[in-house]
Copies of this chain bind each other. A is one copy, B any other.
Amino acid sequence: MQKYLTDNKDRFLNELLDLLRIPSVSADSKFKEDTRRAAEFVRQSIEDAGADWVKIFETPGHPIVYGEKIVNPAAPTVLIYGHYDVQPADPYELWDSPPFEPVIKNERIYARGACDDKGQFYMHIKALEMMISTKSLPCNVKIMIEGEEEVGSDHLGEFVKAHRDMLACDTILISDTSIIANDVPSIEVGLRGLTYLEVEVIGANRDLHSGVYGGAVANPINVLCEMIASLHDENGHITIPGFYDNVEELTADERTAMNEAPFDLEEYKQDLLIEDVKGEAGYTTIERTSIRPTLDVNGIWGGYIGEGAKTVLPSKAYAKISMRLVPNQTDKEIEEKFTKHFLSIAPPSVKVSVKPHHGGLPYVNPTDSIEYEAASLAMEESFGKKPIPTRGGGSIPIVALFEQELGRKSILMGFGLDIDALHSPNESYGLFNYYKGIETIPLFFKHYAALKKEE
Contact = CB atoms under 8 A, between A and B. Distances in A.
Interface of A: 26-29, 87-88, 90-91, 94, 150-152, 178, 192, 194, 196, 198, 203-219, 221-226, 228-230, 232, 272-280, 285, 288-289, 292-314, 317-320, 322, 324, 347-351, 357-358, 392-395, 418, 421-426
A209 B422 contact: yes
Of A90, A207, A347, chain B has the most CB atoms within 10 Å of the CB of A207
Nearest to A416: B212
Contacts of A178: 212
Contact of A215 (B91, B292, B297): B292
A223 B274 CA distance: 14
Contacts of A196: 309, 311
A213 B298 contact: no
Given A219-B297, A274-B349, 5 more contacts: A207-B424, A210-B296, A221-B297, A305-B318, A309-B357
Number of copies: 2
Contacts of A424: 206-209, 312
B302 A302 contact: no
A148 B313 CA distance: 20
A168 B354 CA distance: 59
Contacts of A348: 275-276
22 contacts: A27-B309, A88-B306, A94-B207, A205-B273, A208-B424, A212-B392, A215-B296, A216-B289, A218-B274, A221-B297, A222-B297, A225-B229, A225-B300, A274-B350, A276-B348, A296-B313, A297-B303, A299-B303, A300-B300, A305-B318, A305-B320, A312-B423
Of A347, A394, A421, chain B has the most CB atoms within 10 Å of the CB of A394
Main secondary structure of the interface of A (DSSP, over half): loop
Contacts of A318: 305
Contacts of A226: 225, 228-229, 232
Contacts of A300: 221, 225, 300-303, 305, 317
A298 B275 contact: no
A150 to B, nearest CB: 8
A292 B279 CA distance: 38
B214 A296 contact: yes
Nearest to A232: B222
A314 B151 CA distance: 18
B210 A324 contact: yes
Nearest to A206: B424
**4 residue pairs, one from A and one from B, having the closest CB atoms:** A27-B308, A211-B394, A215-B294, A299-B303
Of A88, A194, A210, chain B has the most CB atoms within 10 Å of the CB of A210
A216 B324 contact: no
B192 A211 contact: yes
Nearest to A91: B207
Nearest to A193: B211
Contact of A304 (B217, B320, B422): B320
A295 B307 CA distance: 20
A426 B302 CA distance: 19
B289 A299 contact: no
Contact of A358 (B27, B218, B309, B395): B309
A317 B298 CA distance: 11
A100 to B, nearest CB: 16
